[in-house]
Amino acid sequence: MCHRGWVNVLIDAATLNALPDVCILDVRYRLDKPDGRDDHAAVHIPGAVYVDLETELSQPGAPGDGRHPLPTLPVLQAAARRWGIRPGQKVVAYDAGTSLGAGRAWWLLLAAGIANVQVLDGGLRAWTDAGFAVESGEYVPEPSRIELSDYVFPGGAIDIDEAAAWPGHGVLVDVRAAERFRGETEPMDPVAGHIPGAVNLPASRYVDPASGMFATPAEIRAAFAEVGATGDRPVAAYCGSGVTAAQAALAAAIAGLDVAVYPGSWSQWSNTPGRPVAVGE
């Protein structure tokens, strides 16, 4: 399926440094350290406001909702106002360099009507490697009164039943590490394995784990094509809890492809009684 206009989603450190008016979001998040507030306080890009992925880009839910249920629009709008986003203002999200938190912010804000949002390729690491200034402490911007729109997700968003049926008409891509896909290990969720009919495309195929930089559009297209996602059938992605899947949608956008996201992902599937589980390749 051909991508519909979200191709220009990355920004490099030099271009960001030269921008005169931009809302910068620091979305540092790791599975082993979800709260990056102290990291933000220690060092961040000047003028960047901290974004909490757990409470602002998701919200609490039951195990059957997955580990990172989507925030309601009022929750996201209150957060966007706290961040100080003004109507029409460019927004740039970054994290430590994985584009996981930043990708989730990009996906949600774009869906909520923030048209001019990009991700800093390579994150804070790319910024500091380029020698640009940083600051410490907490940055508190002037709150805004921005109005967000109802969610219209880039590439779409699917629920658990659509995920179950997806391999019958499209390509369902599991972007977790290969050993989790095969069911050899499962560090986070109650059951190991994958959704039957899914194919595995680890995120390391399109994001360099060392630098955090995305592969070229041609390389990303080739990686998706290797698992049958060539653009002639609809593609959806899932991961552990919907965060890396949003990063996959971002990667697809770079390559000019549409990828829907299953936000509940394996954390919802594995916590829902009666859902079948596949193991192996």
pLDDT number for residue 67? 96
3-class DSSP assignment, residue 161: helix
Contact 253, 9 (CB under 8 A): yes
Say whether both 176 and 236 belong to one domain: yes
Q: Does residue 69 fall inside a structural domain?
A: yes
> Which domain-ending residue is among 81, 109, 129?
129
- Average pLDDT value over all residues in the chain: 95
Say whether both 112 and 25 belong to one domain: yes
pLDDT number for residue 32? 86
* Local confidence band at 7 (pLDDT 50, 70, 90 cut-offs): low
Q: Does residue 281 fall inside a structural domain?
A: no
Q: For the chain, how many structural domains are there in total?
A: 2
Say whether both 106 and 196 belong to one domain: no
3-class DSSP assignment, residue 160: helix
Q: Does residue 87 fall inside a structural domain?
A: yes
Q: Does residue 96 fall inside a structural domain?
A: yes
Residue 194 — φ and ψ, nearest 5°? -145, 170
Say whether both 264 and 165 belong to one domain: yes
C-alpha 45/C-alpha 54 separation (Å) is: 21
Q: Does residue 198 fall inside a structural domain?
A: yes
Say whether both 206 and 109 belong to one domain: no
Say whether both 123 and 231 belong to one domain: no
> Which domain-ending residue is among 109, 129, 149?
129
Q: Does residue 3 fall inside a structural domain?
A: no
Cβ atoms within 10 Å, residue 60: 9
pLDDT number for residue 3? 37
Say whether both 37 and 77 belong to one domain: yes
Structural domain span for residue 57: 10-129
184: which 2 tokens?
């050899």
Say whether both 121 and 59 belong to one domain: yes
Give the pLDDT confidence of 226-245 residue by residue, as tens digits: 999 998 999 999 999 999 99
Cβ atoms within 10 Å, residue 187: 11
pLDDT number for residue 2? 37
Q: In what order do the strands lie in the sheet with 48-50?
A: 10-11, 117-120, 90-94, 22-26, 48-50
Give the pLDDT confidence of 121-145 residue by residue, as tens digits: 999 999 999 999 999 999 999 999 9
Give the pLDDT confidence of 141-166 residue by residue, as tens digits: 999 999 999 999 988 999 999 999 99
Say whether both 203 and 265 belong to one domain: yes
Q: Is 23 a catalytic residue?
A: no
Say whether both 263 and 223 belong to one domain: yes
Say whether both 124 and 178 belong to one domain: no
Say whether both 29 and 125 belong to one domain: yes
Q: Does residue 1 fall inside a structural domain?
A: no
> Which domain-ending residue is among 129, 149, 177?
129
pLDDT number for residue 33? 87
Reply yes or no on whether the pLDDT at 5 is more than 50: no
Kindly compute the dihedral angle of the four CA atoms of residues 226, 230, 233, 239, in this order, to the nearest 10 degrees: 50
CATH number at residue 184: 3.40.250.10
Give the pLDDT confidence of 72-128 residue by residue, as tens digits: 999 999 999 999 999 999 999 999 998 999 999 999 999 999 999 999 999 999 999
Q: What is the pairing mode between strands 117-120 and 10-11?
A: parallel
3-class DSSP assignment, residue 49: strand
Contact 99, 214 (CB under 8 A): yes
C-alpha 41/C-alpha 48 separation (Å) is: 10
pLDDT number for residue 260? 98
C-alpha 183/C-alpha 192 separation (Å) is: 4
The stretch 195-222 carries a mean pLDDT of 95
Q: Does residue 2 fall inside a structural domain?
A: no
Q: For residue 257, which of 85, 31, 2, 16 has the smallest C-alpha distance?
A: 2
Which member of 24, 120, 148, 239 is catalytic?
A: 239
3-class DSSP assignment, residue 214: strand
